[in-house]
A and B are shown apart, each in its own frame.
Chain A
Amino acid sequence: QELLDVDGEILRNGGSYYILPAFRGKGGGLELAKTEGETCPLTVVQARSETDRGLPASIWSPPRIAIIRPGFSLNIEFRPRNPSACHRESSLQWKVEEESQQVKIAVKEDARGFGPFRIRPHRDDYKLVYCDEGQKR
C-alpha cells in the first residue's frame, strides 16, 4: 500500500511536507510552541489558526528506499526555512517524552537513526502512530 500526499503523489523518503489536519475547523498544521516555561519552543503542537500550515517536516527512514510505506519506522524532523537561533542546541527531530507522553523535539544527543513513528491509513486519510519498539533498534 502506498502513502500519498494531497496531490496523489507517493510520499518520498526524506521528502519535506507540511502535516495538516484532515478536517477543517480545528487548527492548522503541526509546528512548535513554548509550553510550561520552555525558553525555546520545544513542544509539537497544532497551529491555532486554520490557515497556518505550520512548519515543513522531513519524514525519513534509514533504508535507502525512495518511498515511504506504512510499516516503515520513521523519523520526523522539522526543517524550517529560517531556523531560529533558539534551536542551535537541539535537533528538530521529534521524540515522545516518556513521562508526559507528549511529542517534543530532541536534544542532539537523543536524535536516533530508526525513528519510532509510523504513518498509517486512517479512514480516508492518515494518522501518525508512535511505536515503542522503534526506540530499541
Chain B
Amino acid sequence: SDRCKDLGISIDEENNRRLVVKDGDPLAVRFVKANRRG
C-alpha cells in the first residue's frame, strides 16, 4: 500500500499559508533552477 500523503496548504488565522500534510489536496508545484538567468 502507498504510505505517501500529499503536501498541501493550510491557511492559519494569521494568514500564513502553511505547508502541511493534506492528503487528497496537494499543492501543485513547479521547479525553477535557483541559478537560472532571466
Which chain A residues have a beta carbon within 8 Å of chain B's beta carbons?
A: 3-7, 9, 11, 15-23, 26-27, 29-30, 33, 35, 43-46, 48, 53, 56, 59, 79, 96, 100-103, 117-118, 120, 122-123, 125-133
Structural contact, B17 and A125, CB atoms closer than 8 A: no
Query: Interface on chain A toward B: helix, strand, loop, or mixed SS?
Result: strand
Asked whether, in the complex, the Cβ of A6 is within 8 Å of the Cβ of B19, the reply is no
Q: Is the CB of A118 within 8 A of B4?
A: yes
- Interchain Cβ contacts under 8 Å between A and B, 6 examples: A4-B31, A6-B32, A19-B31, A22-B30, A102-B18, A131-B4
* A-B contact number at CB 8 A: 122
Cα distance A53–B3 in the bound complex, in angstroms: 30
Interface pair B18/A43, CB less than 8 Å apart: yes
Q: How far is the CA of A17 from the CA of B5 in the complex (A)?
A: 22
Instruction: Give Cα A23 to B30, complex, Å.
Output: 9
Residue contact B21 to A96, C-beta cutoff 8 Å: yes
In addition to A23-B28, A29-B32, 17 A-B residue pairs with Cβ atoms within 8 Å of each other are: A5-B31, A6-B31, A7-B33, A17-B34, A18-B31, A19-B29, A19-B31, A21-B30, A27-B17, A45-B16, A46-B19, A120-B4, A127-B7, A127-B26, A128-B7, A129-B7, A130-B5
Give the distance in Å from the alpha carbon of A35 to the alpha carbon of B18 in the complex.
9
* Contact B12 A35, beta carbon cutoff 8 Å: yes
B6 near A129: Cβ-Cβ < 8 Å: yes
Measured in the bound complex, the distance between the Cα atoms of B35 and A6 in whole Å is: 13
> Sorted from nearest, which 9 A-B pairs have the closest CB atoms?
A56-B34, A127-B26, A22-B28, A46-B17, A16-B34, A131-B4, A101-B21, A129-B4, A103-B19
